[in-house]
Structure 1
Amino acid sequence: MYQDYSQYLQWLQRCIQAQEQRILTLENALQKMKEDIKLVNEKKAIHIDKIEYKFDQLKVETLEGTLNIGLNPSELSGIEDFAVQNQSLSSPLSPKNQMQRSMKIEEAIYRYLETDLPLVVQAVQRELNVQPNDEYLSFVKQDIIKQLPSRIEHHLAANSASSRSSENTPSDELIIEALKKEIQNGVMVFFSNLPENLKGMN
């Protein structure tokens, strides 16, 4: 009988030692994870200064990208700082009137995209010897539509600023004409920068 108790106590002691060993292993693993998390939190974010691409070495198989209307990235190099002092800005138009102007301009540009943009694209394609392709027109139109709200907002803000500095404020028609000119310039830049293998003509 004592032998049974002795064996039982030995078995119990081995179980306790195994549990203690397992707890120690888990505590060590937990401590290591805490240290790893602390190291990850202390690391600074990676900062990349400049990436240069050599486009003449790329083979383009799909047409993707952005058609820039308005400011082009190449024009941004001369712009140093857009900082604005904390000043209270007063808008001569109420938000309702501003929204109505924006909608009127947007409708006019949508009509222009439906009626005149195909002609503009065809003319530029002929001028630059680019094979006509309906996918280009669709791509250009979708890209312009994505950028249109921000460009209208930009022109209305510039209009608002000029109205504070002078009596003569540009009409909606002038803003519409400025947007049309930006679109035409953007189409020309887009097709000018197409790789030769996508132009489809020699």
Structure 2
Amino acid sequence: MNNDLYTYSKQMQHYLEAQEKRILQLEQEVKRLTEEISVLKNKPPIHVDRIEYKFDQLKVESLDGTLNIGLNPSDLNNIDEFAVNHQPVSPASFPFPKREQIVKEMTIELMSQLDEMIQATESQVGITLDPTYHDFIKNDVERQLEQRIHMYFDHSLPTERAPHQFEHLKEKVFEKVKSDIQVALMNFITHSQGQTGGNQPNGV
């Protein structure tokens, strides 16, 4: 009987020691977490300055390459589009209703104006391209248009995304992409004169 009491007493003692050790560990953990919370509370709040963005100048690398009105995903890492305190910031996606449909409608409208833009640019610089280059331009522009439109929507400012501002944003994106096309056409047609023998000034 005494032996049973002794065994029980030793077991109880080990149990209490284990509980005491566990309580001490928990107290230390609570103390550590309390200190971390205190440090976080004392940190100054994060302040984000005004967000500004700019797009790199468009250019055509070569006549047999691409009429570049847009940017490949890898190119986005190489230009200063968004910066906060001179640090790059990725733009937030803008998933508005019927986005794909709106982008396609804008693409169709821009493509319907492309022939007129090509002719106007040719007239402005005094160079008439061979008709085969017209097809090249139209195919290349059409291939890049939707990506470019999506990019401008995603780079819009939060204030421009309000419902009452959306129609204005659509017009702004449309005009930006149209301007990009005009710049690319100007570069392409101007540089084509020195790169090929098939394009004659004033159609001669």
Task: Establish whether residue 110 from structure 1 lines up as the match of residue 115 from structure 2.
Answer: no
Task: Establish whether residue 84 from structure 1 lines up as the match of residue 89 from structure 2.
Answer: yes
Task: Specify the code of the residue in structure 2 equivalent to 1:84.
Answer: V
User: What corresponds to 2:124 in structure 1?
Assistant: 127
Is the contact between residue 129 and residue 189 of structure 2 (CA under 8 Å) also seen in structure 1? no
User: What corresponds to 1:146 in structure 2?
Assistant: 143
Provide the rounded CA distance (Å) in 1 between the counterparts of 2:67 and 2:199: 16
Provide the rounded CA distance (Å) in 2 between the counterparts of 1:135 and 1:152: 26
Label 1:126 to 1:96 Cα distance change in 2 as closer, same or farther (>3 A): closer
Provide the rounded CA distance (Å) in 2 between the counterparts of 1:77 and 1:158: 14
SS in 1 for 2:65: coil
Provide the rounded CA distance (Å) in 2 between the counterparts of 1:164 and 1:177: 17
Q: Deviations over 1:153-176 (max 9, x none)?
A: 2111112555489x9665212211
Is the contact between residue 128 and residue 192 of structure 1 (CA under 8 Å) also seen in structure 2? yes
Task: Specify the code of the residue in structure 1 equivalent to 2:124.
Answer: E
Is the contact between residue 66 and residue 143 of structure 1 (CA under 8 Å) also seen in structure 2? yes
In the alignment of these two chains, the number of paired residues is 130
User: What corresponds to 2:64 in structure 1?
Assistant: 64
Provide the rounded CA distance (Å) in 2 between the counterparts of 1:195 and 1:82: 40
Is the contact between residue 122 and residue 132 of structure 1 (CA under 8 Å) also seen in structure 2? no
User: What corresponds to 2:134 in structure 1?
Assistant: 137
TM-score (norm 1): 0.50
User: What corresponds to 2:199 in structure 1?
Assistant: 199
The percentage of aligned residue pairs carrying the same residue is 25
Shift of 1:191: 0.7
Task: Specify the code of the residue in structure 2 equivalent to 1:153.
Answer: H
Stretches of structure 2 that go unaligned for 5 or more consecutive residues are 1-60
Task: Establish whether residue 171 from structure 1 lines up as the match of residue 176 from structure 2.
Answer: no
SS in 2 for 1:147: helix
Q: Deviations over 1:168-189 (max 9, x none)?
A: 6652122112111111111111
**Alignment root-mean-square deviation, CA:** 3.7
- Higher RCO, 1 vs 2 (CA within 8 Å, ≥6 residues apart): 1
Runs of 4+ aligned residues of structure 1 deviating over 4 Å after TM superposition are 76-82, 160-165, 167-170
Task: Specify the code of the residue in structure 2 equivalent to 1:64.
Answer: D
Is the contact between residue 80 and residue 88 of structure 2 (CA under 8 Å) also seen in structure 1? no
Q: Deviations over 1:9-55 (max 9, x none)?
A: xxxxxxxxxxxxxxxxxxxxxxxxxxxxxxxxxxxxxxxxxxxxxx9
